[in-house]
Amino acid sequence: MAATLIELGAVRRDWGDHVEAGRLLRQAIVILEKHEERSEVAHALDGLSIERSLARDDAGAEQLVRRSIAINEHLFGPDHPRVASGLTRLAWILSAADREGAERAARRALSIQERRLGSGHPATLSTKSQLSLIIKDRGDLVTAERMQREVLEGRLRALGEYHRDVAGSLANLSAMSRLRGDLAGAEEMLRRSVDVYRKVASGDIDYGRTVLELAMLRHHRGDDRGAANLAREVLGFTVEGLVEMAPVLAAQGDCKAGRLFSNGLRQSTPESPAATTPFHARGNRRARASPLAGSNLRNLPRVSQTLCDTAQRRRQDGINGVSRRVGRRIARRVPFPSARRSSPQQRQLDE
């Protein structure tokens, strides 16, 4: 009965129904505690912590993960891989508000996994990837990039070139190259990441997000035609930053796609669930509010329509180059999304 409730809770969580998912998982925990199934209680607590994290209740998620870690330490000892898995999840939860605590948890998890699983194990590499991103956020870009390159090399050896974890490492390295000002290197890494995702996970949210990052990069260096072509690939995705490409598409005269992107604003404003639900696919960090939040975001449909009308008039007059320049002046350059956070949530689901 409890196992069924946990499975149903996971399904509801994936559907975005966090209230029902939480109710089912709490019911499972009550049943398991009555039967003193402590190992299964820890597993259910992990699931509930994922639900709380996706609902943006990081304090509640942290409390649940710490309970799970304590149970696993009591049952299996402090150096068990299950303890390391909980510490990795704890680091992910703490990474936004307590980077020092997140780094301590990730380092302890990595130490356990390197001793018990080996340095080339996929779980060890995922924790090392997450630690590199925490270190980057703390300002040590050189160490972070070195670690992420080691992760990429390890994943290529263990998993082969065409694996979604490899694509995630390439995207992380792209973000670090951008911070160093190496836009050419960043674009090359993103292009490789997109190629891998196209082959192994073209329906994955990470694929949509990576394509959009590459589109934004090309938009920033003035290649709006290339950016628009990429943006059309992700029309079916709901990903952070999607709406900011509406003016770019409209400026290229693609009014239909521009309207589709703009119409997504009703589901993407900061007050709506779509905007506050964090990314939880492998390799991603929690989503942030759009950089064009508030009145600027609400004005995008009007701006896109103005650009579309201008592009059509210019095209009719045979002045396509002028229309693109007008579009680029109005379509403001937008910030890139942050580097991906290796997600213990999806890793637990896969296991």
Tens digit of pLDDT for each residue in 108-144? 999 999 999 999 999 999 999 999 999 999 999 999 9
Report how far Cα 213 is from the mean position of its chain's Cα atoms: 12
Q: What is the pLDDT along the chain (351 residues), one digit of tens a residue?
A: 667 776 776 776 666 666 777 776 667 666 666 556 677 778 778 877 877 887 788 898 899 899 899 999 988 999 999 999 999 999 999 988 899 999 999 999 999 999 999 999 999 999 999 999 999 999 999 999 999 999 999 999 999 999 999 999 999 999 999 999 998 999 999 999 999 999 998 888 888 889 989 988 888 888 888 888 888 887 777 656 666 777 777 777 666 665 655 555 444 433 333 333 333 334 444 333 333 333 343 444 454 555 555 555 555 555 445 444 444 444 444 444 545 545 555 544 444
- Domains, the chain, with CATH or none: 1-77 (1.25.40.10), 79-160 (1.25.40.10), 195-351 (no CATH)
| Cα atoms in the Cβ-side hemisphere of radius 13 Å centred on 236 | 6
Q: Are 324 and 310 in contact (CB under 8 A)?
A: no
pLDDT at 334: 45
pLDDT at 319: 46
Q: Are 74 and 114 in contact (CB under 8 A)?
A: no
Tens digit of pLDDT for each residue in 9-33? 677 666 666 677 777 666 766 666 6
pLDDT at 351: 47
Q: From CA 61, how far away is CA 67, in angstroms rounded?
A: 10
Dmax of the chain from CA atoms? 77
Rounded to the nearest 5°, which phi and psi values hold at 42? -60, -40
Q: Which of 190, 183, 200, 311 is nearest to 249 (CA)?
A: 311
Q: From CA 242, how far away is CA 148, in angstroms rounded?
A: 27
- Contacts (Cβ under 8 Å, ≥6 apart) of 90: 62, 65, 66, 69, 102, 105
Tracing tokens 């007059």 back to the chain, one arrives at: 317
pLDDT at 286: 35
Q: Which of 251, 247, 185, 180 is nearest to 217 (CA)?
A: 185
Q: From CA 321, how far away is CA 286, in angstroms rounded?
A: 39
Query: Residue 203 carries which side chain, given as an amino acid letter?
Result: G
